[in-house]
Amino acid sequence: MIAIGQFFFRFRNALFPLIVLAAVLLARPHYSFGSEAMDLLVDLLGIAIIFAGQTLRVITIGYEYIRRGGARWASLRERSGTGRDLRPLSDPLYVGNILIATGFLVVLGRGWLILLGVPLILFIYSAIVSAEEEYLSRKFGGLYADYRERVNCWLPDWTGLRESLAPMRFNWQRVLVKEYNTIFAVLAALLLIQT
């Protein structure tokens, strides 16, 4: 699982756009359940899921730019001075990506693609997280083990969120500089699906 995660992490910038393109080409959009009204509802649901994922990414980057790998985890703890955890999730960008990808599958409106795609997305990100956790465990040992005991990876724990965000300031400039490519890719993919 760790080797698979290392592979997907290393090549994610090339692989994920190709996977989205393949899904769009394999499953041209059609009326969900044979109805234009139902198709609109399914599209709105998918867009809402995409929006939730993109919002999570914007909030994460706006409050604290996440560097890759161990540097990200260590820098958050060092900057807080108290070893405070950034809650409610340890991997909010990954959760945002999962939501965005799932939203696209819903917009495509093919049940078989959702049934195959969502488990594939979850498998890929589980592998990436396994590889990252193995790396962080080697690098930080018991400190990281203690952190993993306190902070969930996938399901939010909202307790402590206010304390985590209190010393931080939201930075729109950082969002524009660091997140414009993801926002552009999301909008471009939505336009591609609609053509």
Give pLDDT tens digits for 53-82: 999 889 888 886 555 444 444 444 443 333
**Is residue 14 scored above 70 in pLDDT?**
yes
Structure tokens of 117? Answer: 């795609």
State what percent of residues in the chain have pLDDT above 70.
83
Q: Is 10 helix (H, G, I), strand (E, B) or coil?
A: helix
**Is residue 135 scored above 70 in pLDDT?**
yes
Average model confidence (pLDDT) across the chain: 79
- pLDDT score recorded for residue 193: 77
Distance set, CA 87 to CA 14, 149, 150, 152 (Å): 30, 12, 9, 8
**Is residue 138 scored above 80 in pLDDT?**
yes
How far apart (Å, rounded) are the C-alpha atoms in residues 1 and 150? 23
Distance set, CA 51 to CA 41, 93, 96, 131, 178 (Å): 15, 13, 9, 28, 17
Per the CB < 8 A criterion, the answer to whether 32 and 118 are in contact is no
Q: Which residues contact 140 (CB under 8 A, 6 or more apart)?
A: 70, 73, 74, 147
pLDDT (average), residues 77-103: 69
- pLDDT score recorded for residue 31: 66
- Condensed to tens digits (0 to 9), the pLDDT of residues 164-175 reads 777 778 889 888
